[in-house]
Amino acid sequence: MGIYSKIGKSRTYLVAAKKTMKIVAFFCISGIRHKHDNEFPFLPTVEIIGFGIDKDLHGSGLGRKFLEHIIKRERKLGVKIISVMAIPSAVGFYKNFGFEEADPKMEIHCDDENFNCTPMYIMI
């Protein structure tokens, strides 16, 4: 998986408005390494561990543009699955891209227990 070949390696991107240089968006992607065995084959996976758009720009299409970029870029790198722990207000956004909710029987841990995160994924 190239740039994500080490456990815990991630990339963060900040986007600034041209005129003001104010940060208006960010996203962070982390590689996930799975132990490979014959019963459960390895699929190159990344997780979106941070994704945000300035509230004044919600509905502008900026979030859609960045998620399209993430999917296209990761597909070119050979990634097969993108996962995310979606906060409640973002579940519909991800579903519009084809992300599915993980099986509710799976044991999932969200880093921030204050959020009711929904584990989601998309096969690319």
What is the phi-psi region of residue 78: left when phi exceeds 0, alpha when psi lies from -120 to 50, beta otherwise?
left
pLDDT digits (tens, 9 = 90+) for 109-122: 555 555 678 889 99
Question: For residue 4, what pLDDT band results from cuts at 50, 70 and 90?
Answer: very low
For residues 5 and 59, give the distance between their C-alpha atoms in angstroms, rounded to a whole number.
Answer: 35
For residues 1 and 8, give the distance between their C-alpha atoms in angstroms, rounded to a whole number.
Answer: 13
For residues 5 and 33, give the distance between their C-alpha atoms in angstroms, rounded to a whole number.
Answer: 8
Q: How many residues does the chain have?
A: 124
Give a three-class secondary structure readout of 10-56.
EEEEEEECCCCCCEEEEEEEEEECCCCCCCCCCCCEEEEEEEEECHH
User: What pLDDT score does 33 carry?
Assistant: 59
Say whether pLDDT at 60 is over 90. yes
Q: Which residue has tokens 């699955």?
A: 81
Residues 51-78 have a mean pLDDT of: 91
For residues 66 and 49, give the distance between their C-alpha atoms in angstroms, rounded to a whole number.
Answer: 14
Q: Residue 29 in 3-state DSSP? A: strand
As a whole-number percent, the residues of the chain with pLDDT over 90 amount to: 40
Q: Residue 46 in 3-state DSSP? A: strand
Question: For residue 93, what pLDDT band results from cuts at 50, 70 and 90?
Answer: very high
Per the CB < 8 A criterion, the answer to whether 121 and 84 are in contact is yes
All domains in the chain, ordered by first residue: 2-123 (3.40.630.30)
Question: For residue 48, what pLDDT band results from cuts at 50, 70 and 90?
Answer: very high
Question: For residue 43, what pLDDT band results from cuts at 50, 70 and 90?
Answer: confident
